[in-house]
Structure 1
Amino acid sequence: MSLTSSIEEPESEHKLRALEDRAREAYRRSERQAAEYLEELTVLVRSGKYADELTEDFDVWKKSHVRPWPARFFKSRVGPQPQDYDLYIRWMESAGKLDDYLERSVSYLYMRDLGRALNDPDTQKRVRHTAAGLKRSLLNAGGPQEDMPTDGFDMAALYRWGQQEGIQEAVIWMIAKMKRVSENIPEGMSAEHAQRKLLKIIAGVVLHAREEMDEHTPKAERSRRLDEAVRLGYSYGLTYPFVDDLLDSDLLTDAEKARYSELIRGALLSGRVPKWDEWNHAFESGGRNLELIRYIHGELGEAFEYIKSRQAEGMDSAFFEQAYVFFEAQDVDRTKSLEDGGYTADQLYVPVILKSSGSRLVARSVGQADEDGGFERRTFFYGIYNQLADDFADLFDDLEAGAVTPYTYYWKYRAERPDLPNPFEMYWAVIAYLIRDVYGCDPNTREVLLDRAINGLKRARRRLGIPRYEELMELLAPGMPELNKVIQKMVKKAEDVEFFDKLLRDRMLTEMKRDREERERFRGLLDEIRAEIDEALPIASDSPVPFVGHSLIDAANYSLAGSGKRLRPILARLTATEGYGLSRESVRPLLKSLEYLHTASLIFDDLPSQDNAGIRRGRQTLHARYDGATAELSGLLLIQQGVREQSTLQGFKAETVLELMRYSARKAEELCMGQALDLKSRGLDLDLERLNEICFYKTGVAFEACLIMPAMLAGAPERELKLLEKFAYHAGIAFQIRDDLLDAEGEALNLGKPSGQDEANGSSTFVSVLGIRGAKTAMWDHYCEASDAVRELPESLRFLKHLLDVLVQRER
């Protein structure tokens, strides 16, 4: 070891110890602060003062929420259920309730996520501005998104928002990252929950960044900050599925969880991600989780380094200290056992106070937002309000899972542990403390906190059913009889206490679950239809000239038997059976004809006179396997087989079949013209307009035919045909751009053909014309246009959305 390195090493070790000491002292300091807060709440509960204060608050509050009995007697028309998201929003607007609903909801987000005081004039101005923008977005479906969309993982909506803000690249990056996260969520953990939480965290960090800017912020600076916020939000949010949720799951053994926690703790204390060898050692026994952990190590390592690189000079230690406090509180809380009856109030509540406030404090430090004077104080005291509300809602689920929360622990040991604070009383004491001691009796704050509390109980009453809910109240509220009478009266009679984030959460989970089920069904259908088509494709050897004919048929079958995606006949089959209810037997000749014609086009494309390709569908091209003449003749044979199949369509009007055959011939002509355009353009520098033209005639025309021909057989109206053509045009170009990107970036093993083939042929591609970044942006532009067409089509054609996702996110 050199003299220099021997001097530097102790300095490095000294710096590391200093970081660890500061982080551990930050945790001890936070523990003391939380214990003091808990003591104040405990005194409030014991004195009963909180109940008297809240009774007064409810007396003022109910004037805005409980109508006099004559008005209640003549009940207004009941609106649609919140589950009918779009109808519910429109009804709220027509009933004159939407403005208050959105301002109430936005005020809550400003308190919870941004730590703002609602009595601040600037905060009120921002709340009204944000609520007005949200209202415009909700009522103008499909119009510009003024804030990051979070009502489901709608890739088109997210991309268009990014486009408006000039951060398309960050959104494309985020979509790809979230897809990978979803694919790597193991069985036993919820992919929908992970996606929802990730989007929520990203939106929170974006909100922090947006609130630090105003109308005077230059557009380029705004884009830079929002781009960074998206990446920071993802990087921070990744800890929820792959630290918090993973450690809460049963996927890892207790020993693996302990080692995993030590690795995370070590990274936060040292500011350094342990190398893979250190992680590998922790999970090598058995190895069943090794590939998952390898992926997590790479993602968390990348996220950790990104956050670290974005910390301001001298501020990185503050971030790591807060992150350490948050993680340590979660870990302390996580390792409790419901079978241990000896936990003190401090052991139960202090980690809850720290982790519930820590999440918001870390989100603030990740985005490096400037603090106002009271932010940290308000955030610290506020967190447990949400946590106790969530723990109440999850009481029975947590009991079943054996999780320790103030509610589950009290539920199990209340009879033998009279010293335990009642968490329901603590919850209301927190509300009283926030209204009086933290927010200075501000009426806006009182309105939001009491709205939220009553809404939570209303939701619990609906979810549990009235008998079980009332039984629960008898167990949790005996120490606050007078206040509970007031609360339960409000639960039954109060109106206008709903919140948009709850509506959004329910919609998002419903949409994501439905989307996953439809996607899984769609992928299952793809495999089923592909197998069905593969079985039907081989051409029978019934040639009148056996010696020559059989060899041509064998050659044609060789080309048909390659590992093709069968996208065209699959698309036609789905359109026919799923979209229009035609029987699969009646359209089978059409499916075979489409694949025969497509395979013939590939044979001709691969010839030395055209693309001169040596590999197709994972094996030798036909002319390389046989010879050029055999390839040409086999291609012609397949074309005639395609025409023959179309002529055998049964169960449709003869004029409809003839019209379909004329349409098919016209599309085949256009495909030939597209290939000729492509060949004549070799070696030329093409502009985007000519490239789109070539792409449509080479690829989009085939997609269009696969949609239009089944629709023609079903007698679809002209408007639907136009929408299908629009979808095909944009989906076809998006498909080709993805092909070009794979050719530029992919591996031959994944593609089934050599990568870089376009460059070798001197072909202009979307990548050569636009560059990789520009090509990705163009692909998403076309994706959005195709998505718009799907939205206007009947529900039965919704599968096209999943097909579109496959086209732009495939790896081969």
Structure 2
Amino acid sequence: MTHHNDNQDNDNQAAGWYDKKAAQASQYFELLSAYVHRQDYAEHLMEEVKAWKQQHHRPLLSRLLQVRKEPRPAENFTYLKYLQYNGRLNDYLSRSITYIYMRDLGASPENPAIQQRIQNLTVKIEHLLEQHVNSNHEAANGNLFSFKDLYRWGQKEQIEPVIIWLIEKLKQVRDHIPEGIHKEHAQRKLIKLIAGVVMHALEELGEDVSAEERSRRLGEAIKLGYSYGLTYPFIDDLLDSDVLSPEDNLQYAQMIRHALVTGIVPEPGDWARQHEQLAAFIYRELKSAFEYIQSIQRDETRSAFFEQTYVFFHAQEIDRIKRLDYAAYSNEELYIPIILKSAASRTIVRSVLAADASADYEERTFYFGIYNQLADDFADLYEDLEHQSVTPYTYYLTHRENRPDLINPFELYWAVVHYLIHHLYQGHKQVQEAILSRAISSLHRCRSRLGYDKYKFLMKELEPSHTPFAVLLQQLVRNSNPVQFFDKLLRDQLISSLRSQEEEKAQFRQTMENARQVIQASLPVTLPQEDQAFTADIIAAANYSLQGESKLLRPVIAYVMGVLEYGFAETDLLPLLRSLEYMHTASLIFDDLPSQDNAATRRGRPTLHEVYDSASAELAGVYLIQKAMQEQASLTSFDPSRVQSLMKYSAERAGDMCAGQMKDLSTRGQTLTLEELNAICYYKTGIAFEAALVMPAILAGTPPDVIDSIKKFAYHAGIAFQIQDDVLDTEGHAQTLGKDTQMDRQNGNSTFVTILGVEGARQAMWDHYCSAIEAVEKLKLKTAFFQHFLDYIIHRSH
């Protein structure tokens, strides 16, 4: 009985939260509705819009000639360079950052302290962009940010472990976003939420905060941002999609509601079999995220967190069950939930941080939210119609002929603009410029996306009743230059980057597999016609070692470098590819011997000396080295002098690898310094990566300075590879890895893990990853293969 009463009390409390906010939303909606009915919003805005028109007017000749005077914002680097060259970058950033402060931070530019922070941040970002734009050769790709940049920032803020944690979490989320959810948009919203929480945390930090406290709070903010951001792909997007069955959808929503009302995450229950794995991941991540947020809450902020989160979720649920074919929704039923969810989605951020919120922050955030929501719904109108989603726009367009009482959402949008400029921000000029620019630019983007005819039809359907204002708006779209915003550029670039990364990763995997198949088919050593019986045993031993679950990384790298970068014919390059794998396999045979590592398994099966004996294994290793030299001498399609240089280089590198192995054997059982381990690792592993890259470069006659950059990449990539090997040797499983684990520990060898610990080893791996990426950027390669090869190195599980 007590349990039932507790549940009832919780439900009543939650209903009270929603009713209180709904009453506030209702008052706001009545005010906006009155503006629309009286048409006075348009009268007040006419002068401001005309003034904006004068400032952003596009000359008649430019319009007649359809001259595009500036690059498109999608051309990120070119556009930023254009702004920088014309002295407009500061104004562009100042307007954008002002808008972000209003929208995301609930701040007012009227406040001198806020104005100073906007100015300081503008100058800082301007400086960073100028450095990036002027120095980065990747301008054509428009890649403003990357995991490399993120990790370098983490190093600067001394939060490397949190950044590594975040990168791994983002990878897991990406891998678990199911078909039926827009993958790029889901990832973008998650990243945006993380950035938003971090931005709030940075605003909370004072000048006198110690470096240690700053690092702690930034790390905490990143984890909180991820925890809150998970709600977008795995609650909002999932419940909005058709991924789950109606039964699973209902059960999932009830589970979330229970957690928000009681503060306790219930058991997930049974899901349809095809969703069991997805459900297990989502439940584990969301439960952990919910409990982490709870652990940060203070007593005085806990209630606000649960209240705002519940209001947001309940408003979403009310909207989610609406049907477009139902003709009797009132204006209040259409608008109250979106006022609530758009406001709560922002106030939650501060409650997630357990930060105190001032009354004016709450007010500005509450009244600003619907402005963005109506703008977003306008942008997504046709997509929402296609999916039969109910928004003020889709509902108005569907039922306006039979429902003259329905408020035109386009008019209500401008009524909101009027309220924000004249009442919430008291006519502040900087606010006026930012809000009007944003609103009018959305019309520019709509016309560009839909095309003139479709846009004209839409505007006729949504035309405001105040005819002079409606005419003025369309004149603005025809006669003014579109005003761009930095956050939109970042959003578009992020979506484009996420999409291109997925495409490039698929291409990377396909390239790896294609090259591997070509190389694998050519590897077996064939029996010579003469003396077949005499050579059969050693060839069989060599071929045994060449078989098994090999990744063939080194010849694959050489294949990409030679075929895709330098344009060599595949058949001409095959001797070099075979030679690399023969040399590598020989080194593994020697490594595995009882006199060295004494390994029992390799490539998923017994080592060669286990199947034959040590003497046979040694001879097979020598035989493969001899075959490698023979293959290199068979590169008859290339300049003989370059082939000679290649063979000289190959012999030198093979000698270095032997020296590395000798040093490794002689220092076993000793505690090495990091510098000593780096050197051994380079000689044992890095040189093999270097050879796979440098040998095709030698055949191509590549200049020495470029080869130096190749060697730098190989050095850092090789060490990163070895560090991940050491981590996997500590944490992995022999069945997954295809070889014995814990061998170094058993043999008393120093590894990156024994010297640095697992966490320190991962940090060192990411530092080498960043250095390798920076070396690749200088090479100006044709493909993105090597960036994704580095990603493969650090994320591989075997």
Scaled by the length of structure 2, the TM-score of the pair is 0.96
Once residues 61 and 607 of structure 2 are traced to their aligned partners in structure 1, the CA distance between those partners, rounded to angstroms, is 83
Q: Does 1:572 align with 2:569?
A: no
Once residues 19 and 316 of structure 1 are traced to their aligned partners in structure 2, the CA distance between those partners, rounded to angstroms, is 15
Q: Does 1:240 align with 2:237?
A: no
Question: Counterpart of 1:647?
Answer: 633
Question: Counterpart of 1:798?
Answer: 784
Q: How does 1:292-441 map to 2 (within 5 A)?
A: 292-441=278-427
Once residues 213 and 461 of structure 1 are traced to their aligned partners in structure 2, the CA distance between those partners, rounded to angstroms, is 42
Work out whether residues 539 and 553 of structure 1, in 8 Å CA contact, stay in contact via their aligned partners in 2.
yes
Work out whether residues 159 and 171 of structure 1, in 8 Å CA contact, stay in contact via their aligned partners in 2.
yes
Q: Does 1:27 align with 2:36?
A: no
Offset, 1:317 = 2.6
1:529 to 515, 520, 543: 515
Q: Partner amino acid for 2:244? A: L
Q: How does 1:197-346 map to 2 (within 5 A)?
A: 197-275=189-267, 279-281=268-270, 283=271, 285=272, 287-346=273-332
2:359 alignment partner, SS class: coil
Q: Partner amino acid for 1:41? A: L
Q: Does 1:481 align with 2:472?
A: no
Offset, 1:190 = 2.6
Task: Describe the shift of the 1:716–1:70 C-alpha distance in structure 2 as closer, same or farther (beyond 3 A).
Answer: closer
Once residues 142 and 763 of structure 1 are traced to their aligned partners in structure 2, the CA distance between those partners, rounded to angstroms, is 46
Q: Does 1:165 align with 2:157?
A: yes
Offset, 1:493 = 2.5
With 457-466 and 749-758 compared, the bigger mean Cα shift is at 749-758
2:487 to 501, 506, 518: 501
RMSD (Å), alpha carbons: 2.1
Once residues 342 and 676 of structure 1 are traced to their aligned partners in structure 2, the CA distance between those partners, rounded to angstroms, is 83
Once residues 732 and 220 of structure 2 are traced to their aligned partners in structure 1, the CA distance between those partners, rounded to angstroms, is 28
2:132 alignment partner, SS class: coil
Once residues 89 and 361 of structure 1 are traced to their aligned partners in structure 2, the CA distance between those partners, rounded to angstroms, is 32
Offset, 1:694 = 0.3
Q: How does 1:606-755 map to 2 (within 5 A)?
A: 606-755=592-741
Once residues 66 and 110 of structure 2 are traced to their aligned partners in structure 1, the CA distance between those partners, rounded to angstroms, is 34
Work out whether residues 425 and 480 of structure 1, in 8 Å CA contact, stay in contact via their aligned partners in 2.
no
Task: Describe the shift of the 1:288–1:660 C-alpha distance in structure 2 as closer, same or farther (beyond 3 A).
Answer: same
Work out whether residues 19 and 317 of structure 1, in 8 Å CA contact, stay in contact via their aligned partners in 2.
no
Once residues 420 and 700 of structure 2 are traced to their aligned partners in structure 1, the CA distance between those partners, rounded to angstroms, is 64
1:397 alignment partner, SS class: helix
Work out whether residues 227 and 289 of structure 2, in 8 Å CA contact, stay in contact via their aligned partners in 1.
yes
Work out whether residues 790 and 797 of structure 1, in 8 Å CA contact, stay in contact via their aligned partners in 2.
no
Once residues 595 and 68 of structure 1 are traced to their aligned partners in structure 2, the CA distance between those partners, rounded to angstroms, is 65
Q: Partner amino acid for 1:512? A: L
1:43 to 34, 56, 60: 34
Question: Counterpart of 1:5?
Answer: none
Work out whether residues 302 and 354 of structure 2, in 8 Å CA contact, stay in contact via their aligned partners in 1.
no
Work out whether residues 101 and 496 of structure 1, in 8 Å CA contact, stay in contact via their aligned partners in 2.
no
Offset, 1:514 = 1.4
Question: Counterpart of 1:807?
Answer: 793
Work out whether residues 691 and 766 of structure 1, in 8 Å CA contact, stay in contact via their aligned partners in 2.
yes
Once residues 311 and 13 of structure 1 are traced to their aligned partners in structure 2, the CA distance between those partners, rounded to angstroms, is 27
Question: Counterpart of 1:6?
Answer: none
Once residues 177 and 616 of structure 1 are traced to their aligned partners in structure 2, the CA distance between those partners, rounded to angstroms, is 31
Once residues 486 and 39 of structure 1 are traced to their aligned partners in structure 2, the CA distance between those partners, rounded to angstroms, is 26
Work out whether residues 519 and 802 of structure 1, in 8 Å CA contact, stay in contact via their aligned partners in 2.
yes
Q: Does 1:561 align with 2:552?
A: no
Once residues 388 and 77 of structure 1 are traced to their aligned partners in structure 2, the CA distance between those partners, rounded to angstroms, is 30
Q: Partner amino acid for 1:345? A: N
Q: Does 1:99 align with 2:85?
A: no
Work out whether residues 604 and 635 of structure 1, in 8 Å CA contact, stay in contact via their aligned partners in 2.
yes
2:16 alignment partner, SS class: helix
Task: Describe the shift of the 1:141–1:153 C-alpha distance in structure 2 as closer, same or farther (beyond 3 A).
Answer: closer
Q: Partner amino acid for 1:506? A: D
Q: Partner amino acid for 1:379? A: T
Once residues 142 and 202 of structure 1 are traced to their aligned partners in structure 2, the CA distance between those partners, rounded to angstroms, is 25
CA deviations over 1:96-130 (Å, ceiling 9, x no partner):
11111000000111011101112111111111111
Work out whether residues 301 and 356 of structure 2, in 8 Å CA contact, stay in contact via their aligned partners in 1.
no
Work out whether residues 144 and 161 of structure 1, in 8 Å CA contact, stay in contact via their aligned partners in 2.
no
Offset, 1:754 = 2.6
Once residues 244 and 50 of structure 1 are traced to their aligned partners in structure 2, the CA distance between those partners, rounded to angstroms, is 34
1:452 to 438, 442, 462: 438
Offset, 1:331 = 1.3
CA deviations over 1:464-483 (Å, ceiling 9, x no partner):
11222112111101412111
Once residues 558 and 76 of structure 1 are traced to their aligned partners in structure 2, the CA distance between those partners, rounded to angstroms, is 67
Once residues 317 and 703 of structure 2 are traced to their aligned partners in structure 1, the CA distance between those partners, rounded to angstroms, is 60
Scaled by the length of structure 1, the TM-score of the pair is 0.95
Task: Describe the shift of the 1:557–1:74 C-alpha distance in structure 2 as closer, same or farther (beyond 3 A).
Answer: closer
Offset, 1:543 = 7.1
> Any gaps of 5 or more consecutive residues in structure 1?
1-8
Once residues 142 and 98 of structure 1 are traced to their aligned partners in structure 2, the CA distance between those partners, rounded to angstroms, is 12
CA deviations over 1:564-586 (Å, ceiling 9, x no partner):
11100111101111111111111
Work out whether residues 543 and 550 of structure 1, in 8 Å CA contact, stay in contact via their aligned partners in 2.
no
Question: Counterpart of 1:586?
Answer: 572
Once residues 383 and 144 of structure 1 are traced to their aligned partners in structure 2, the CA distance between those partners, rounded to angstroms, is 38
Question: Counterpart of 2:139?
Answer: none
Q: Partner amino acid for 1:113? A: D
Q: Does 1:187 align with 2:179?
A: yes
Once residues 81 and 561 of structure 1 are traced to their aligned partners in structure 2, the CA distance between those partners, rounded to angstroms, is 53
Q: Partner amino acid for 1:211? A: E
Q: Partner amino acid for 1:802? A: H
Question: Counterpart of 1:472?
Answer: 458
Question: Counterpart of 1:89?
Answer: 80
Q: Does 1:59 align with 2:45?
A: no
Offset, 1:172 = 0.6
Work out whether residues 31 and 354 of structure 1, in 8 Å CA contact, stay in contact via their aligned partners in 2.
yes
Work out whether residues 543 and 549 of structure 1, in 8 Å CA contact, stay in contact via their aligned partners in 2.
no
2:332 alignment partner, SS class: helix
Offset, 1:74 = 12
Q: State the number of aligned residues.
A: 793
Question: Counterpart of 1:771?
Answer: 757
Once residues 443 and 355 of structure 2 are traced to their aligned partners in structure 1, the CA distance between those partners, rounded to angstroms, is 34
Work out whether residues 737 and 775 of structure 1, in 8 Å CA contact, stay in contact via their aligned partners in 2.
yes
Once residues 72 and 357 of structure 2 are traced to their aligned partners in structure 1, the CA distance between those partners, rounded to angstroms, is 40
CA deviations over 1:686-744 (Å, ceiling 9, x no partner):
01110100000001000000001111112222222111111100000001001111111
With 135-144 and 40-49 compared, the bigger mean Cα shift is at 135-144
Once residues 162 and 13 of structure 1 are traced to their aligned partners in structure 2, the CA distance between those partners, rounded to angstroms, is 48
Once residues 792 and 186 of structure 1 are traced to their aligned partners in structure 2, the CA distance between those partners, rounded to angstroms, is 37
Offset, 1:153 = 6.3
1:591 alignment partner, SS class: helix
Question: Counterpart of 2:108?
Answer: 117
Work out whether residues 411 and 464 of structure 2, in 8 Å CA contact, stay in contact via their aligned partners in 1.
no
Task: Describe the shift of the 1:61–1:215 C-alpha distance in structure 2 as closer, same or farther (beyond 3 A).
Answer: same
Q: Partner amino acid for 1:528? A: N
